Structure 1
Amino acid sequence: MRRFSEADYFSLKRVLDVAYEMAGGNTLFQHVTRVVVSQLSKYASTDEDCHKTFMPIDVAIDLDLAAKKPIVTAKMAELLGYRLERLEHAIETAEPLSEKDALAIMDEATALWQMVRAAYADGRVDALEKKQLRLKLHELIRAAQTIISKLDDLDVAR
């Protein structure tokens, strides 16, 4: 016997619409996760044939990251009787901007370049290579966003 009501489980589906919207839509979101838009639609659907189709946790965390807010994770915590709170100490202990951050971008860019060369070696990019390239590009963007955040946090002498 399941621990929650059907309404509780369906609330996990309904919250996906909000998360998809905040992530730019499920068509855009599919490029930074491992499933395609048709499957993402099934996760949010309350139609009879999709009642038992729920989003896997790895895709849910990808969605929360893309939405820039833990929408799905917060809903799961709420159902369990918990509330998510931002870890302020994690923000405070983040290392300041350094050469290491620039090297991280260079490493990601180099890895992307190598993947592009390998993908085009046979004259075409297949579906797996396309997905891997998108994921690597997302990692490069994340490294750049880290630098942007650290730049925003810098105390600049005026």
Structure 2
Amino acid sequence: MNIQYIEDLAAGQRYGSGRLTVAPERIKAFAAEFDPQPFHLDEAAARDTLFRGLAASGWHTAALTMRLLVDGEFRPAGGIVGAGFEELRWPRPVRPGDELHIESEILEVRISKSRPDQGVVKVRTTTFNQADEPVQVFTGNLIVQCRPAAAAQAEAS
């Protein structure tokens, strides 16, 4: 898919991704390094917690979502460069064997007044499991480059 400059983007556009399967050993490895809590590290210990079984860290889910974004259909000019989040939530846990995919929806597009070569795109990205149940939802603001002046002039002629 082609790179999308800010001029190519409009509210309501949707972009998808491929799929990624979550292996239990990856859940444990991520948790061991970054979020070492029993419900992320050990099946037996996890059974006696709120999660009632092994669950991926929310931060692991966020990292998996980033991978799906980078490999997905949404290709903003300049890369996926975040300028902050307005919302981040995990409505249900990610479990071993879950197959994740994402859908990103453009909510708002605006050219920067102070930097006319770029703008801000508000995007809601929902990560789904194999049953199409949301496991993560975030609304973020991305910095997206404008089409270079030379390319814009060539397209106009």
TM-score, structure 1 as length reference: 0.26
Please tell me whether Structure 1 or Structure 2 has the larger radius of gyration of its CA atoms.
1
Q: Name the structure where strand makes up a greater proportion of residues.
A: 2
TM-score, structure 2 as length reference: 0.26
Greater RCO, 1 or 2 (C-alpha within 8 Å, sep 6+)? 2
